[in-house]
């Protein structure tokens, strides 16, 4: 049913809120190790699509397939456990925890997170030790070694975005949904973030679906772009094709 | 101050401190660590107290074949006659009440997550507050539990020790023993990956959900544990006072416990005990001092709530995070890595 080289497939998904058709028959595909952009004017349904994919909304119609499994109807926590990690437009980190702890919260099935075992240190201390080591190595690898014990409030916007993305790597992340990773950061920082995305694709074999308004950054890094407008797909293609599509220009400039 | 009994005061204070510390630790697990706004704490305390009262009095009357309910005059007289005949029975009833108080309060807390998790976080507090008030009104009108008069002659587990000082002193040690156990357990609980998960849920539920965490189950678990602890506190209080009535379980008790948590420090178990120690000290001191003053223009009781309000305001002004602020989760590997980090800084 699904080609072996497709990671995520959204089939004819619709989401209605009363009379509002936030999504109206959208189909997209993200191939293995693909970096796919999702663009469109405000209110075109990009974030709604993310919410459908990650289980926050049940689609009114249509199906979502991930690695050959149907995932619409699952809860957000179950979607994560399948290997689909989401970041938010406004990063959602745990404010009172340190950078290291933010990464350590992520791994699923921790023995010490079971309430019956948590008071018995010897049951989980070995697992915790290896997770700490893994997390520290991960943070060092991406140049965050100096911030291990910092609180989230002490970090810059770019670092916060990086950590939100990186914390999924300590577990079985397979694909990322990034919601406006470059919003609110300087041009060069935005390019750094996208370079990190590329690095993650090349080193870890991850696939990406990225919502982004800053096309000048996005277009240099993605393989393929979908354009949403009023809940429908307006266009799709390589960055160059999409940028030259008169319909896209009209939707963005509101001609 | 003639007739001020220092030892009696200390025993009474220590008992209240123990019981209220258990309550404030349990509220802190919910509010401080997990972010569940529980305005209905008193309900679980009441459940524990009523379980202790009904189980012990009805069992004794049944065993001695008295055909009277414990709230009737006949029942109260019979209880007075039979309650201290068998020390093992009294101790057994105490233990049974502790187990039942923990289990039933815990289960009620667990079941309440069903409505609680279906309303927004802002309404959780109101839902639980309403539950507490409903439960109190239920007890007020439920005759088998004594109705508005409540139940008296609850057999003290150490009642056969006729000397009040020894009896109360030993009971205080039992209460403090429960406090130590609950404190140590809670410390272990919050300094583990589970404690980290609790704080993650408190900081951002949606993010925790997106990281694969079963947030409703986490909240239900913590409500089970902390409601069970509140039940134990209720059992301890019922046996200590030997009489209970619905008016002891007004919503103001909940806010008193909130005051302890805010004073002591959110998300710190030691802080919960410090807060409980201060507020119970004020409470006990006023109770002991007032009768010794004779007739005064203003009864010291009137300044009780004012002084607590003033204290909370002052603490929040100067130590916004409470007297003993929150500490980071410390699992052994994290402690180790922090120590190593500090040493590196020193060397550099």
DSSP H helices, chain A, are 46-53, 76-81, 99-105, 121-141, 157-166, 187-204, 215-218, 239-243, 246-253
CA distance B185 to chain A (A): 7
Residues in a beta bridge with A233: A228
pLDDT band at B302 (very low <50, low <70, confident <90, very high): confident
DSSP H helices, B117-214, are 121-141, 164-190, 193-203, 205-210
The count of C-alpha atoms lying within 13 angstroms of the C-alpha of B348, restricted to the half-sphere facing its C-beta, is 6
Higher pLDDT, A40 or B297: A40
Domains parsed from chain A with CATH numbers: 1-83+173-255 (3.40.50.300), 94-171 (no CATH)
Cα(A133)–Cα(A100) distance, rounded to whole angstroms? 10
Cα(B155)–Cα(B60) distance, rounded to whole angstroms? 9
Cα(B171)–Cα(B193) distance, rounded to whole angstroms? 35
Are B244 and B19 a contacting pair, CB within 8 Å?
no
Q: Are strands A6-17 and A84-86 parallel, antiparallel or unpaired?
A: unpaired
CA distances from A232 to A13, A49, A214, B265 (A): 10, 11, 21, 52
Q: Among B193, B326, B338, select the one facing A113 at the smallest CB separation.
A: B193
Instruction: Name the closest residue on chain A to residue B333, using Cα atoms.
Output: A129
Contacts of B211 in chain A (CB under 8 A): 77, 80, 105-106, 167-168
Residue A64 pLDDT more than 90?
Answer: yes
Q: For B259-269, what is the mean pLDDT?
A: 94
Cα(B333)–Cα(A220) distance, rounded to whole angstroms? 42
Structure tokens at A219: 């277009």
∠ CA B333-A206-A9, rounded to 5° = 130
Domains parsed from chain B with CATH numbers: 6-347 (1.10.3470)
| Helix B87-116 vs helix B41-63: crossing angle, to nearest 10 | 150
- How confident is the model at residue B343, as a pLDDT? 62
Are B51 and B101 a contacting pair, CB within 8 Å?
yes
**Is the minimum CB–CB distance between A161 and chain B shorter than 8 Å?**
no
> In a mutagenesis test of the A interface, which of B195, B199, B210, B342 is the best target, namely the one with the most A β-carbons within 10 Å?
B210
How many contacts, defined by CB atoms under 8 Å, are there between A and B?
114
| Helix B121-141 vs helix B41-63: crossing angle, to nearest 10 | 30
Instruction: Name the closest residue on chain A to residue B187, using Cα atoms.
Output: A119
Are B291 and B284 a contacting pair, CB within 8 Å?
no
Q: For A7-31, what is the mean pLDDT?
A: 94
CA distance B130 to chain A (A): 29
> In a mutagenesis test of the A interface, which of B29, B211, B326, B327 is the best target, namely the one with the most A β-carbons within 10 Å?
B211
Per DSSP, chain B holds a count of helices (H) and strands (E) of 13, 0
Query: In which region does residue A45 sit, left (phi positive, over 0), alpha (psi from -120 to 50) or beta (all else)?
Result: left
pLDDT band at B297 (very low <50, low <70, confident <90, very high): confident
Are B34 and B222 a contacting pair, CB within 8 Å?
yes
Cα(B192)–Cα(B203) distance, rounded to whole angstroms? 17
Residue A89 pLDDT more than 90?
Answer: no
- How confident is the model at residue B243, as a pLDDT? 94
pLDDT band at A173 (very low <50, low <70, confident <90, very high): confident
Q: DSSP assignment, residue A96?
A: T
Provide residues of B within 8 Å CB-CB of chain A: 185, 188-189, 192-197, 199-200, 202-204, 206-215, 221, 225, 326, 328-329, 331-334, 337-338, 341
CA distances from A13 to A22, B5, B251 (A): 10, 77, 49
| Helix B215-241 vs helix B6-28: crossing angle, to nearest 10 | 160
Instruction: Say what the pTM is.
Output: 0.90
Contact B202 A98 (CB under 8 A): no
Residue B121 pLDDT more than 80?
Answer: no
User: In chain A, pLDDT over 70 holds for what percent of residues?
Assistant: 98
Query: B183 CB contacts (<8 Å, ≥6 apart)?
Result: B21, B25, B269, B273
Q: For A96-125, what is the mean pLDDT?
A: 92
Residue B2 pLDDT more than 60?
Answer: no
Mean pLDDT value across chain A: 91
Cα(A31)–Cα(A18) distance, rounded to whole angstroms? 33
Cα(A106)–Cα(A99) distance, rounded to whole angstroms? 12
Instruction: Name the closest residue on chain B to residue A123, using Cα atoms.
Output: B192
Contact A94 B207 (CB under 8 A): yes
């Amino acid at each position: 049913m699904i080609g072996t080289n497709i990671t995520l497939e959204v089939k004819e998904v619709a989401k209605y809120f009363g009379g509002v058709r936030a999504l109206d028959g959208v189909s997209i595909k993200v191939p293995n190790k693909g970096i796919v952009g999702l663009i469109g004017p405000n209110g075109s349904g990009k974030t709604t699509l993310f919410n459908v994919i990650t289980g926050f909304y049940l689609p009114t119609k249509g199906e979502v397939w991930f690695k050959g499994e149907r995932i619409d109807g699952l809860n957000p926590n179950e979607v994560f456990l399948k290997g689909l990690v989401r970041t938010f437009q406004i990063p959602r980190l745990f404010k009172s925890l340190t950078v290291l702890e933010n990464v350590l919260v992520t791994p699923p099935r921790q023995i010490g997170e079971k309430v019956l075992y948590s008071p018995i240190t010897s049951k989980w201390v070995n697992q915790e030790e290896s997770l700490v080591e893994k997390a520290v190595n991960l943070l060092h690898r991406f140049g965050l070694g100096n911030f291990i014990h910092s609180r989230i409030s002490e970090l810059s916007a770019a670092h916060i975005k990086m950590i939100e993305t990186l914390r999924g790597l300590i577990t079985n992340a397979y694909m990322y949904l990034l919601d406006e990773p470059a919003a609110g950061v300087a041009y060069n920082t935005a390019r750094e973030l996208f370079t990190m995305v590329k690095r993650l694709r090349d080193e870890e074999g991850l696939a990406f679906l990225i919502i982004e308004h800053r096309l000048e950054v996005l277009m240099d890094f993605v393989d393929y772009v979908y354009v949403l407008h009023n809940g429908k797909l307006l266009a799709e293609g390589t960055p160059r094709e999409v940028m030259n599509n008169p319909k896209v220009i009209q939707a963005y400039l509101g001609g | 101050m003639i007739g001020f009994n220092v030892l009696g005061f200390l025993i009474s204070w220590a008992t209240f401190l123990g019981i209220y510390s258990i309550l404030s630790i349990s509220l802190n697990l919910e509010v401080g660590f997990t972010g569940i706004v529980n305005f209905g704490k008193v309900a679980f305390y009441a459940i524990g107290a009523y379980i202790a009262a009904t189980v012990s009095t009805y069992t004794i009357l049944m065993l001695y074949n008295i055909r009277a309910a414990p709230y009737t005059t006949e029942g109260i007289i019979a209880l007075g006659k039979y309650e201290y005949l068998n020390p093992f029975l009294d101790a057994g009833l105490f233990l049974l009440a502790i187990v039942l108080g923990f289990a039933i309060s815990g289960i009620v807390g667990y079941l309440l997550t069903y409505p609680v998790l279906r309303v927004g976080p802002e309404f959780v507090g109101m839902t639980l507050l309403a539950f507490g008030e409903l439960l109190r009104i239920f007890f007020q009108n439920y005759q088998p539990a004594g109705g508005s008069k409540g139940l008296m002659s609850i057999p003290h587990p150490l009642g056969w020790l006729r000397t009040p000082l020894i009896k109360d002193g030993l009971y205080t040690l039992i209460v403090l023993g429960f406090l130590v156990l609950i404190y140590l357990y809670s410390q272990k609980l919050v300094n583990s990956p589970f404690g980290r998960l609790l704080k993650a849920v408190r900081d951002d539920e949606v993010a925790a959900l997106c990281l694969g965490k079963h947030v409703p189950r986490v909240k239900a678990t913590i409500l089970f544990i902390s409601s069970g602890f509140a039940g134990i506190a209720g059992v301890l209080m019922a046996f200590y006072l030997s009489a209970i009535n619905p008016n002891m379980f007004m919503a103001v008790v909940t806010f008193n416990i909130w005051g302890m948590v805010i004073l002591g420090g959110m998300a710190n178990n030691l802080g919960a005990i410090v807060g409980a120690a201060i507020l119970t000290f004020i409470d006990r001191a006023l109770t002991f001092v007032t009768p010794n003053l004779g007739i005064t223009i203003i009864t010291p009781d009137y300044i009780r709530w004012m002084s607590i309000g003033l204290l909370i305001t002052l603490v929040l002004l100067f130590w916004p995070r409470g007297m003993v602020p929150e500490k980071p989760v410390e699992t052994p590997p994290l402690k180790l890595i922090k120590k190593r980090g500090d040493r590196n800084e020193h060397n550099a």
